[in-house]
A and B are shown apart, each in its own frame.
Chain A
Amino acid sequence: MPQRTGDRERCSTGIEGLDTILYGGIPRANTVLLTGSCGTGKTSLALEFLIHGASKGENSLFVSVTENSEKLLVNIIPYKFFDKSLVKSGRLVFVDLPVMYERLGLTKAELSMEEVDLLVSAITSLASELQTKRLVIDSITSVCYKLKTSEKIRDFILKLGKSLSDLNCTSILVGEVAADSTSYSSFGVEEAIADGIILMANMERRGDLLRTLQVIKMRGTMHSRAKYVLDLTPMGVLLVPLLKGGSTG
């Protein structure tokens, strides 16, 4: 794998193709927006990132917003490298955000600025307590629906990103966009604040639907900006370059 000397420390995703695209991995403590429409493999990729981290001894935390984590574990691809003892030992922790909302008393449809601070503080405290080095929030879009305004969304992501970065924790915020969206995020704010954007999409070519991945930006490292085709397999996410076929378009 190509490496660049003098670069920031890397958090290897463990996904060979993605680490190659990123010249070694995500710069440690970056907050990355992993965005795309439904069925593009975002959750699978994010989970694999955590599993590889936990397997290497890095405490990893999955904050589930949309799906009950028990159901998520049942539906998880039968990864050959997934050792259930990672969960039992607490190396890989799953937390349901709706439970956290309830405990914090954040039951209203819209959170106030103070409540946003309370939520950031609760997530950060949990990450700190667990000595989390990798964190995924799936999805940040669902959290944003409770924040409503661009101002609060900006505040939430900025504060969360900063406090997780201070913990030297590398984070992936899973974003959802409509299939026909030209934006990288639902609210247009998330993409501007994140240190990196990884876009996953479905691409139609002559009637075939291909799952694609493209790194749009990643602060702190050189990276490929080309589009890759991916497959979700029991060996993890596999990537190959998208064939251009002499196309000039």
Chain B
Amino acid sequence: MTPEMVSAQEIAAELAQTPSSSAISLQMSVDNYLDVIRGVLDLYANKREMDTIYVTATISSDAIKRVLEALDIDSSRIYFVDCISHIMMGGTTTLQDDRTTLVESPTMLENIMLKVEYLIRRSQSKDKLVVVDSINSLAIHNNNWILSEFLHILVSGLRSREATTIIFTVQEHTTPEINNMVNLVCDHGVLAGKKEG
């Protein structure tokens, strides 16, 4: 029998317990990816009306927008920093627009920080959320040293700006080193994988 997945509602309920302006590690199963996106974005962008900066290194922002549309989630408060579309060299139709900023490559970690900073400054919303999707995708392109440094500077900066950060980790792709790196900068951990028992 296939183990049951944690639902979007359960993920949202658990995230709702965490204080604002904190850094949260959200570990998910690869099978639970869409539920996680739904749970996170529905809670923060829609219910809490927070401007959400979604750093995507896993799939293109276009693909996520289509998912949100299919899930009937309003994406008007969601701004994308897309680190993957440009290196796909025409494999996607994603274009830079008011809500989508392209970073040439996921190896340009400083540029990711700069785009996040730009969107934070531009945002009129009092509360802001930054989602990093995912640390494992970034780890494909970067070594652990530079990734660890990136996370430390990014999360510290966001904390000082009182923004909430959620870092996605995919259980099936993670390593103890990556988990340590994420745990070092996060205040809370949420597990959104397969239900036990």
Contact = CB atoms under 8 A, between A and B. Distances in A.
Interface of A: 80, 205-208, 210, 229-231, 233, 235, 238, 240-247
B92 interface: no
B146 A231 contact: no
Nearest to A244: B149
A243 to B, nearest CB: 5
A240 B149 contact: no
Contacts of A245: 142-143, 145-146, 149
B114 A238 contact: yes
Contacts of A231: 111, 114-115, 118
B109 interface: yes
A246 B111 contact: no
A80 B111 CA distance: 20
Given A235-B118, A235-B122, A240 B110 contact: yes
Q: Would you call the interface of chain B mostly helix, strand, loop, or mixed?
A: helix
A207 B141 CA distance: 13
B105 interface: yes
A243 B149 contact: yes
B146 A246 contact: yes
A192 B117 CA distance: 35
A81 to B, nearest CB: 11
Contacts of B118: 231, 233, 235, 238
B113 A240 contact: yes
A229 B114 contact: yes
A241 B153 contact: yes
Interface string B119-138: 00110000000000000000
Contacts of B114: 229-231, 233, 238, 240
B153 A210 contact: no
Contact of A210 (B111, B122, B142, B145): B111
B153 A206 contact: no
Given A231-B114, A240-B110, A208 B149 contact: no
B14 to A, nearest CB: 32
A204 to B, nearest CB: 12
Contacts of B145: 245-247
Contacts of B111: 210, 229, 231
A208 B104 contact: yes
A206 B107 contact: yes
> Which 5 pairs of residues, A with B, have the shortest CB-CB distance?
A245-B146, A246-B145, A229-B110, A231-B114, A240-B113
User: By CB atoms of chain B within 10 A, which of A207, A231, A245 has the most?
Assistant: A245
User: By CB atoms of chain A within 10 A, which of B115, B149, B150 has the most?
Assistant: B149
B73 interface: no
Contact of A235 (B104, B113, B121, B142): B121
